[in-house]
A = this chain, B = another copy of it.
Amino acid sequence: MLDGKATFHEDNWKRDEGGGGRTRVISHGNVFEKGGVNFSEVHGPVSDLMKKQLKMDGKEFYATGVSIVLHPHHPFVPIMHMNVRYFQLDDTDYWFGGGIDMTPHYVNPASAGLFHKGLKDVCDKYHPEFYTKFKVWADDYFFIPHRNETRGVGGIFYDHQRATEKLSKEGFLQFALDLGDVFAKLYTEQYELGSKMEYTDKNVQWRNLRRGRYVEFNLVNDRGTQFGLKTGGRIESILMSLPETASWVYDYHPTPNSEEEKTLGVLQKNIDWLSEY
């Protein structure tokens, strides 16, 4: 484990209608101010709310997934998020979803390039079009319309994936497991790059403002969070994704040509981060 000091707090929870999960949260570590891992495996009758929200029909569902969110102390080390999930409806339908995305407080294009190269390498093992397709999907998903900003430098995002001639159901499962493996490698790389830099109180203030945007995305725009809040999921597991501290300053504009302004300038869709690698 990257963090030598922190220990995990673990909670196991059950769902009244069937299934349960485990939430493990780290706090005040050497590296992480807050980080968490959610595992869940739930099943039961398909509710009216699920039919409406998920636009699907069926009797019984089974859903399992793992989510990780890491909020480091260091302003030059990024927030990183992973989710992989599997959903099954009766014996008639199923799909996979998931992805990994990165939210640097300060965007370093070369580091973003390295991150995207790592994701492309995993994608390419499974399908030649996955990276290109899922990279665009992440740009669209991790976007904050009311700010006209992406949450960070994106990554990959996919949903409703079923087996095809090119990739079997087992292949999609292996892809999800591979993402879990590569997540630790990708985060360690980013940590090594960012954590060597010196930082000031000003950098910490900016980190907290960027975390404020992370809160805005998760509470206003993230469909997974919205669904969890509306369907009475375990609230502390859903909101473990929020940072320990976040900040909002009215109408803050960074100094022209500052690192902060450069970061704002690249929080856009459709940047070819691979070209920075």
Contacts and interface: CB of A to CB of B under 8 A. Distances in A.
Interface of A: 9, 11, 23, 25, 27, 34, 36, 145-147, 208, 212, 215-216, 219-220, 229, 232, 235-236, 239-240, 242-251
A247 to B, nearest CB: 5
B219 A251 contact: no
A220 B34 CA distance: 22
A240 B250 contact: yes
Given A34-B250, A215-B219, A250-B36, A235 B146 contact: yes
A207 to B, nearest CB: 12
Nearest to A240: B250
Contacts of A245: 208, 245-247
Given A244-B249, A245-B245, 12 more contacts: A9-B251, A34-B248, A36-B250, A145-B229, A146-B229, A146-B235, A212-B242, A219-B219, A239-B248, A243-B248, A244-B248, A246-B248
A167 to B, nearest CB: 36
The 5 closest A-B pairs by CB, nearest first: A219-B219, A242-B248, A25-B250, A236-B251, A146-B229
A245 B212 CA distance: 9
A146 B9 CA distance: 22
A243 B208 CA distance: 12
A27 B249 contact: yes
Contacts of A229: 145-146, 220
Main secondary structure of the interface of A (DSSP, over half): mixed
Contacts of A147: 235
A134 B145 CA distance: 34
B244 A244 contact: no
Contacts of A243: 248
A250 B235 CA distance: 10
Nearest to A212: B242
Nearest to A34: B250
B215 A250 contact: no
A247 B248 contact: no
Contacts of A219: 215-216, 219-220
Contacts of A208: 245
A206 to B, nearest CB: 14
A100 to B, nearest CB: 22
A107 to B, nearest CB: 21
A128 to B, nearest CB: 39
A146 B228 CA distance: 9
A34 B252 CA distance: 13
A72 to B, nearest CB: 16
B215 A9 contact: no
